[in-house]
């Protein structure tokens, strides 16, 4: 009886402990998309990065309405990216380094850059040289000495976000064109 009782206590204790780990793991997830768990830390990091982008473009005046719009945009982009990236990975569709370079400083400039006022010249028009200068500034050793660390961090985050947006947008275009071509047939 004592041995049986000890076994029951041992088994129940093990179930309770493993169950609490399971519940803790689930509470660390925001959602499950295509069978992959989206961690709250990853989602928060995307939120922070997008907040930095908005602050850089529009200043520090982010109210509750803007915060909610940011949250919604980050969520929608997370879902879209996950679904499209999975499908594109299955069929081997990617964005090459040369293709990305062409969309940033080449002949096929991304609309994301062309509509970004940060890269306009004094005449109010998009200027590739402004993009080149921005990239060389944030990548240079001088930037670390001449630009305050928090500002440089914002600029680098901004560029990472912009580059990621260009890649994602182009991948979505390619994927949509593929689907449209398939539906015509």
pLDDT in tens, 150-170: 888 888 888 998 999 999 999
pLDDT in tens, 40-88: 888 888 888 888 888 877 777 778 888 888 889 888 888 888 888 888 9
pTM: 0.75
9: pLDDT strictly greater than 50: yes
pLDDT for res 17: 60
- DSSP conformation letters of 123-173: TSSB-HHHHHHHHHHHHSHHHHHHS-HHHHHHHHHHHHHHHHHHHHHHHHH
Q: What is the mean pLDDT of residues 108-113?
A: 93
User: What's the pLDDT band for 120 if we cut at 50, 70, 90?
Assistant: very high
User: What's the pLDDT band for 22 if we cut at 50, 70, 90?
Assistant: very low
24: pLDDT strictly greater than 70: no
The burial class, CB within 10 Å (0-12 / 13-18 / 19+), for 71 is: middle
pLDDT for res 131: 93
């Amino acid at each position: 009886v004592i041995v049986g009782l000890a076994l029951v206590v041992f088994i129940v204790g093990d179930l309770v402990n493993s169950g609490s780990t399971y519940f803790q793991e689930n509470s660390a997830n925001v959602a499950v998309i295509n069978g992959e768990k989206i961690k709250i830390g990853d989602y928060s990091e995307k939120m922070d990065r997008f907040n930095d982008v908005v602050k850089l473009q529009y200043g520090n005046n982010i109210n509750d309405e803007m915060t909610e719009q940011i949250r919604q945009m980050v969520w929608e982009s997370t879902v879209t990216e996950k679904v499209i990236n999975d499908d594109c990975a299955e069929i081997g569709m990617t964005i090459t380094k040369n293709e990305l370079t062409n969309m940033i400083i080449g002949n096929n400039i991304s609309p994301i850059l062309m509509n970004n006022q940060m890269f306009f010249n004094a005449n109010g028009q998009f200027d590739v040289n402004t993009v080149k200068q921005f990239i060389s500034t944030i990548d240079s050793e001088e930037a670390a000495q001449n630009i305050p660390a928090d500002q440089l961090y914002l600029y680098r985050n901004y560029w990472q976000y912009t580059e990621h947006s260009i890649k994602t947008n182009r991948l979505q275009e390619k994927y949509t064109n593929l689907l449209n071509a398939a539906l015509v047939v």
